[in-house]
């Protein structure tokens, strides 16, 4: 059994259940899932462990890139727009306040070195999740 122990502020990219307060984000997620479908199981694994179960799955990585591109968090050249990332993530979900979100984003921009756009988007998202887990909670534990 998996037990959640950390806020899921970055699930906007991956979650099957996007909160309704940001309908634009939900619309983008639905659009991207039509082109790059990801399964509910992948969403759950990402939320629990900070990564996809199969890290070679290009479709899932491209879903993340699609959402980041369409929301302005990442451009077509692979540049992350830190201010936009913070704006999109702060308060998501359920008005969760991440006090060091800017620092986490800055760290992950620096750490993300993949060149291929889908892999780059996934690497960035994974970094955000792992940093959040390490700083503010514990990863999921199997009992």
Q: For the chain, which domains are there?
A: 7-136 (1.10.238.20)
Give the model confidence (pLDDT) of 74-109 as tens digits: 999 999 999 999 988 776 555 667 788 999 999 999
Please tell me the least confidently modeled range out of 31-45, 46-60, 75-89, 125-139.
125-139
- Rounded to an integer, what distance in angstroms lies between the CA atom of residue 70 and that of residue 31? 10
The per-residue pLDDT for 92 is 56
Compute the residue count for the chain: 143
Q: Is residue 131 classed as helix, strand or coil in its secondary structure?
A: helix
The per-residue pLDDT for 107 is 97
Give the model confidence (pLDDT) of 15-26 as tens digits: 433 343 356 777
The per-residue pLDDT for 24 is 74
Please compute the mean of the pLDDT values over residues 42-64 and round it to a whole number. Answer: 87
Angle made by CA atoms 31, 35, 36, in degrees to the nearest 5? 105
What lies within 8 Å, CB to CB, of 20 at 6+ separation is: 26
pTM: 0.76
Token code pair at residue 53 = 């179960």
The per-residue pLDDT for 110 is 96
* 90 within 8 A of 102, measured Cβ to Cβ: no
What 14-19 contacts at long range (C-beta under 8 Å, 24+ apart), as own/partner pairs, is 14/38, 14/42, 14/43, 14/46, 14/47, 14/63, 14/64, 14/125, 15/43, 15/47, 16/40, 16/43, 19/92, 19/93, 19/94
């Amino acid at each position: 059994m998996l037990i959640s122990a950390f806020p899921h502020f970055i699930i906007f990219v991956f979650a099957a259940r996007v909160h309704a307060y940001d309908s634009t984000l939900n619309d983008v997620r639905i659009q991207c899932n039509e082109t790059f479908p990801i399964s509910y199981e992948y969403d759950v694994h990402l939320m629990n462990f900070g990564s996809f179960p199969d890290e070679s799955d290009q479709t899932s990585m491209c879903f993340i890139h699609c959402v980041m591109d369409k929301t302005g968090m990442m451009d077509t050249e692979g540049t992350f727009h830190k201010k936009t990332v913070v704006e999109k993530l702060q308060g998501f979900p359920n008005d969760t306040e991440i006090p060091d979100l800017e620092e986490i984003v800055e760290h992950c921009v620096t750490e993300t070195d993949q060149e291929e756009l889908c892999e780059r988007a996934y690497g960035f998202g994974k970094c955000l999740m792992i940093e959040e887990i390490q700083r503010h909670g514990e990863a999921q534990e199997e009992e």
